[in-house]
Amino acid sequence: MNSFHPPLRPTPPTSQAAIVPRTITPLDTRAVTRSSLAFPLSAEDTSERVRVALQEDEAFNDVSTIATVVSTRHVRSAIVARHDGVIAGIPLAIEAFRQLDPSVTIRVEAEDGTRVAAGATVLALTGHARGMLSAERTALNYLQHLSGIATLTARFVDAIAGTRARILDTRKTTPGWRTLEKYAVRAGGGTNHRLDLRSGVLIKDNHLAAIGGDVAMAVARARALAIPGTPVQVECDTLDQVEAALAAGADWVLLDNMAPDVLRDAVARCQGRVTTEASGGVSLDTVRLIAESGVDRISIGAITHSAPALDLGLDFDGL
């Protein structure tokens, strides 16, 4: 992957409501649950997850802050983007600041899914200095990681603009973070693949190796066991496997690590019969060529397991 990428394309606001920052006050109990992207955690789960993260950091026993900042000190601060990117994780950051300072007031300048330029304010905060300082790292850890995933996803989405393909994630996620990382993919304009092993059938190369390569038997067994209506997908490395999957009645074929000419041939054979997905070593340099094969989906593990954190920082005003 190249170290330089062009700026993300700006996303124009769709309504006046989308460009009016919302303000979260101490009395606003719904602040952490509001999201046009359907934030995957309930208010209770969000609170518990953030509490555990703050305890891990001993944020409630922040010796440095207690020693240097008086408890009555009020300040204004802002989380600011250091680079262009797409924001994700706002509800978690809000919860971190509110747990350390229930009286904090927060103005949300960039909701999840918003594309921001370097220098843009994401959150503006007014409250106790101690709470902001102690919550800072946990809030930024959530925002930087999830925004990094959203940003990298958006770059892939932009790279295939005008084609029929969609960008999919995979199950290559950080243990315990899957629902949040897949949410960040949606924030970046991507599409979620199956959430877990139970929610979809994907017959992979090792499944086939374990049963002697019998695609027809694998598909038949999957149909017999899965909930009716569950799509059955087969991973294919060769054109012969593609033909076997089609003959077996698969709904979806995963075209893995195929050379461009072989991929185009495979997509042509599947056209109008099954959903096609390409995977394997996809990069920003190659994704456009893959999309131009006519494939329906392109799955990329890197958007979750290798996305660099988006550089965000907390700047204080008036200390």
Give the model confidence (pLDDT) of 145-200 as tens digits: 999 999 999 999 999 999 999 999 999 999 999 999 999 999 999 999 999 998 88
Can you give the pLDDT at residue 295?
98
Residue in 235, 277, 296, 297 annotated catalytic: 235
pTM here is 0.92
| Cross-strand partners of 314 | 79
What pLDDT, on a 0 to 100 scale, did the predictor assign at position 42? 93
Q: Per residue in 71-116, pLDDT tens?
A: 999 999 999 999 999 999 999 999 999 999 999 999 999 999 999 9
| Residue 109: active-site member | no
Mean of per-residue pLDDT scores for the chain: 92
**Average pLDDT of the segment spanning 108-128:** 97
Provide mean pLDDT across the span 107-126.
Answer: 97
Catalytic residue among 172, 223, 264, 288: 172
Q: How confident is the model at residue 261 (pLDDT cuts 50, 70, 90)?
A: very high
140 vs 309: CA distance, rounded Å: 10
Question: Is position 44 annotated as part of the catalytic site?
Answer: no
pLDDT, one tens digit per residue, over 268-318 is 999 999 999 999 989 999 999 999 999 999 999 999 999 999 999 999 985
Evaluate if residue 47 carries a pLDDT over 60: yes
Contact in structure between 264 and 292 (CB atoms under 8 Å): no
Nearest residue to 218 (alpha-carbon basis) of 228, 230, 229, 232: 232
- Residue 4 region by backbone torsions, left for phi larger than 0, else alpha for psi between -120 and 50, else beta: beta
Confidence class of residue 256 from pLDDT cuts 50, 70 and 90?
A: very high
Model pLDDT, residue 33? 57
| Per-residue confidence (pLDDT) for residue 36, from 0 to 100 | 65
Confidence of residue 3 (pLDDT cuts 50, 70, 90): very low
204 is catalytic: yes
Residue of 159, 150, 156, 152 lying closest to 185 (CA atoms): 150
Q: Which of 34, 76, 204, 269 does the annotation list as catalytic?
A: 204
